[in-house]
Amino acid sequence: QQQVKQSPQSLIVQKGGISIINCAYENTAFDYFPWYQQFPGKGPALLIAIRPDVSEKKEGRFTISFNKSAKQFSLHIMDSQPGDSATYFCAASMGDYKLSFGAGTTVTVRA
């Protein structure tokens, strides 16, 4: 069964807009929550990651918001650019370092 549920499956945003992707998990033992970005024909690459001791982490235009009590975390892409068009995966792992991925969100940024 899928341990991390991700939504939406796809989204379209105008250039300069905000993209928001949500993920939810059940296993409270998870202690590492990365987001990966994947371009067509390429391998996933780490975008940003958070641990449950903080509620928010920002790197440039990308922000993770983390709600431990709700067991949810989300990725916000501010000022979306055409170059951000990609598939985004949330993931979670615990001490076994085994990443459980969400199903992915295809983001299309229209110029």
Residues that bind other proteins (CB under 8 A): 32, 34, 36, 38, 41-46, 49, 87, 89, 93, 96-101, 103-104
CB of residue 48 vs other proteins: minimum separation in angstroms? 11
Round to whole Å and give the CA distance between 36 and 43: 10
Residue placing its CB nearer to other proteins in the complex, 66 or 101? 101
Residue placing its CB nearer to other proteins in the complex, 17 or 87? 87
Residue placing its CB nearer to other proteins in the complex, 20 or 99? 99
CB of residue 54 vs other proteins: minimum separation in angstroms? 15
Within a 10 A sphere around the Cβ of 5, how many other Cβ atoms? Answer: 14
- 31's CB contacts (< 8 A; 6+ apart) are 51, 52, 93, 94, 95
